Structure 1
Amino acid sequence: MSPKYRLILTSFVLSTLLMIAKFIAYYQTYSSAILTDALESIINVVASGFAFYAVYLASLPKDLNHPYGHGKIEFFSAGLEGVLITLASIFIIFHAVQGFVTPQPLNDLNIGLIIISSGAIINYYLGYVIEKEGEKQNSPTLIADGKHLKLDAQSGLILILAIGLIILTKATWIDGLASIAFAVFMGISGIKIIRKSIGGLMDETNDATLHTIVDLIKNNQKNEWIDVHNLRIQEYGSDLHIDCHLTLPNYWVLEKVHDTVHEFEEVLSKEFDASVEFFIHADPCLPECCSYCKIEDCPIRWYPQTKVIEWNKVNLSLNQKHFIEKI
């Protein structure tokens, strides 16, 4: 079993056990704050279950119906988790307001405090491990699940503080106030997760990935790479698809063009652990390219080199050669 499957399965099992423990704590205490945490645990269980299925789908090979693979299901999985978090936050606020209108007596808060504290410690550690593995494998599903568990642990601190204050002060209104604060914190985090997953589904450029690729091109630049433009990056879960136009000398034979394109691909792929697919379009150089071409012994040069173009994420991404003024 791969590390992805092990972590998601562990998350699912622990989330289920913690959910049961938190509901037991609620029925022992009738605390709105503890019910809030228990309801949030339902989301952990549902999200972990769907995340396991998403990781399975994302690992399937490409086929005729999915020529780019199945990796985008991971963005959908992360988005679903964000939606569930947001909906739960709305329900929690509604329940807390009801608690202000018709308050219920609180019982055995010490038991609830022990269960919530234990759950916070377990969730934070597990969330930290899952998020780090997700960043390592560039997996939106693992990152979202890890962030969710860490969020659950962080919000648990609010509840621990609230329950502690209730025990010390006997002010039961703190219970509802803590639930609302927890719900607002959850809702903001859920919206952020939704926003990021929508960006992934719409092929929004990942600035960190683009910056890495631009640095690779600049730091390994060859004189024969006359021009690079129309650089585009698509993420399919943990897999990358990179395409661009690479301008090469027009007098080269096809075999040399092929070898240079392959070398260019190797330069771009060496920093990524994920599977990287390329589509490099080779353009022949034009006389207008001479002004920034660095090939010293070019047999067909029309004009001397007069400028050096500093490649960056803007001009590498434009769908036009560098001798054309930016429109």
Structure 2
Amino acid sequence: MPQKFALWSILVALAVFALKLVAWRWTGSVALLSDALESIVNVVAAMIAYFALRLAAKPADAGHPFGHSKAEYLSAVAEGAMILLAAVLVLREAIAALPAPTLGEAPAAGIAINVVAALVNGGWALVLLRVGRARRSPALAASARHILADVLTSAGVVAGLLLALATGWLILDPLLAILVGLHILREGWHVLSDSVDGLMDASVDDEELALIEAAVASASEPALQVHDLRARRSASVVFVEMHLVVPKRMSVGEAHDICDRIEEAVTAALPAARATVHVEPESELV
């Protein structure tokens, strides 16, 4: 399912880029050029996300016993880096246009086309955000955040250009482009830092950890203790580890039954979770 949405993202990104390119050609606005430059990144990033999702969907094998899910984080890191590159390009164009700002012969038509592109982008971003959260897909979520940032950028650019046309202050065009560049820079940093956290095996969030702890507590009796409970997210998969302390005289079969109940409870709380339980004797109580 995520692969299908990633493929559609490529087509939507190409359509939006074409619309923004026409808008820029009709207006000559450096702010609209900045908006179009960001859309080039959207196209390339959508392609990267599609191939990363295809790789992430591959089952575990001898060389990758834990699966390929982290490929999504690589995609998101690449997208974050490309957003930063887009910001640099936008700032360069905007600063170069400051001394002599100009607009073309059909600014109103160009602005209208850019509004259409923004509406298409906004609708698709909301779809991706919903699917990315539901599927726990970092690649789709990163794409959605990037596209939403693009929509906000387009809205600001359109508002500023309308003000420039109404007042004759054409300097607003490159100034808007500079603001766009700074906004893109901030968004790229967030995407990059979140993705690096995933690659560094950051812990699950507090809400998910609470669900896991409650599931373990409900299924661990008559064990004596559960300690060193850890959980990390790898894209859509959550890996859970813990130590289970049982009475010294408990049989292997009884301890194994408890482990099975814990694993089932954790999976019921988080369907994508994979739990590993290490059994210890009561001398290991902490």
TM-score range, shorter chain: over 0.9
Aligned length: 285
Deviation of the 1:102 alpha carbon: 3.9
Whether the 8 Å contact between 1:246 and 1:282 is mirrored in structure 2 is yes
Q: Which amino acid aligns with 2:247?
A: P
Name whichever structure is richer in helix by fraction. Answer: 2
Specify which of 74, 98, 105 is matched with residue 100 of structure 1: 98
The answer for the alignment partner of 1:13 in structure 2 is: 11
After TM superposition, list the pairs within 5 Å mapping 1:208-223 onto structure 2.
208=206, 209-218=208-217, 220=218, 222-223=220-221
SS in 2 for 1:64: coil
C-alpha contact 2:266 2:275 (8 A) present in aligned 1 = no
Contact 1:33 1:175 in 2 (8 A): yes
Q: State the structure with bigger RCO (CA 8 A, min sep 6), 1 or 2.
A: 2
2:184 maps to 186
Contact residue 68 and residue 236 of structure 1 kept, 8 A: no
Question: RMSD in angstroms over aligned alpha carbons?
Answer: 1.6
Aligned to 2:24: 26
1:44-85 deviations in whole A, cap 9, x for unaligned? 100101100010000001111111111101111111111111
2:134, 2:60 → 1: CA distance? 22
Distance 2:223 2:17 in 1: 57
1:1-327 correspondence to structure 2 within 5 Å: 2=1, 4-208=2-206, 209-218=208-217, 220=218, 222-274=220-272, 276-286=273-283, 289=285, 321=286
Deviation at 1:279, TM superposition (A): 1.7
* Whole-angstrom distance in 2 between the partners of 1:105 and 1:136: 44
Q: Mark the CA change 1:73 to 1:222 in structure 2 (over 3 Å): closer, same or farther.
A: closer
Question: Structure 1: which 4+ aligned runs deviate by more than 4 Å?
Answer: none
Q: After superposition, give the CA deviation of every residue in 1:131-157 in whole Å (9 maximum; x if it has no partner).
A: 111111111101101111111111111
Q: C-alpha distance in 1, partners of 2:121/2:45?
A: 14
TM, length-normalised to structure 1:
0.83
The whole-number CA distance in structure 1 between the counterparts of 2:122 and 2:70 is: 27
Cα distance change, pair 140–128 in 1 and its aligned pair in 2 (3 A): same
Paired amino acid for 1:6: K
TM-score, normalization by structure 2: 0.95
Following superposition, the deviation at residue 221 of structure 1 comes to 5.5
Separation in 1 of the partners of 2:214 and 2:190? Answer: 28
What is the CA–CA distance in structure 1 between the aligned matches of 2:241 and 2:254, rounded to whole Å? 20
Matched AA of 2:17: M
Residue 230 to residue 93, structure 1, CA distance change in 2 (3 Å): same
C-alpha displacement of 1:212: 2.8
Percent of pairs identical after alignment? 28
Deviations 1:79-124 (A, max 9, x none): 1111111111111111101001343343311122112211222212
Tell me the SS of whatever aligns to 1:162.
Answer: helix
Question: Which SS does the other structure have where 1:230 is aligned?
Answer: strand
- Unmatched runs of 5 consecutive residues or more in structure 2: none
Asked whether the 8 Å contact 1:70–1:236 carries over to 2, the reply is no
